[in-house]
Structure 1
Amino acid sequence: MATFATTTDPALQPAPMLDELAEQLRLPVRAVLAERAARIRRALPARPGAPRARYTWWRSLSPAQARQAVILDLLDALHGHLSGQPAPGFAPDDRLPTVALEEADGFTEFASTVGVPGGVLAAMIDAYRRQAGVSQSDA
């Protein structure tokens, strides 16, 4: 008698749709970006909010600190974008910008703060890129 796989067999389950996968990635990617930003923020001198003081702050940074400050600004913008506050330079309807995946990739161990093992997040990012037709070199 022949046996047939059931639809509960994971090998026969259809791959999640791109939008569904993007939605599943938003929280862990946002957590990774937040943790990276927090670590950079702790390593830099306190960043003032007033424009004139901010200008002085920027000028006081070493080249390495300035690079980290630029990354911090990007991470903050991406975190806000993934939280529903569109960031300049990103389409408001782009719910998961490719650059957010780039910035999360390689730091996936931080996703454990939201209960997603780093290896799982890395696999999800890879699956999303494959489905979206984006290679790491394109991103």
Structure 2
Amino acid sequence: MKFLKAFLAVLSLFIISLFSSKNVLADVGCRTGNNIYTQQVGSYPEGSSTIPVFSDASAIRIRNGASDPNCGILRSVSNNYTIVAGTTANPSSKCSYASNPGDQGRLVNYNPAHNSCVLPLDDYVPALILASFFCIPLMRKHYLNKMFAF
């Protein structure tokens, strides 16, 4: 009975993980070059504007393609991000990052769920599932032998 409960628990967790999705709303970040910086750490004045400054440590790389080994957001996806509408404090939606305030970018609405990595483990999931189903009869046999041993 314990085995059945454990098996059902693992199976339900597996099914839930398959159908779960990231429910993430768009955030505002600073896109400069090949990065989107996500955490604002301050600002500085430039003429009549206030330019937000973002942390270097919060950078999400922009990947060139799906096979790019770096983690990040695909360039084809990030090119469709909308630029944040200007405000009276920052009419042209400029931004910068901490280590190089002179390298200005634009504030964009990005989706953190688009940040992904190429993991080779994904290639082996079917084999791992198949291996686990071969182990179930062995585990059941071992469990039954222990249960009815005198």
Same-fold call, TM > 0.5? no
Larger radius of gyration: 2
Greater relative contact order (Cα < 8 A, sep 6+): 1
TM-score with structure 1 length normalisation? 0.28
TM-score with structure 2 length normalisation? 0.27
Q: Which has the higher strand share?
A: 2
Q: Which has the higher helix share?
A: 1
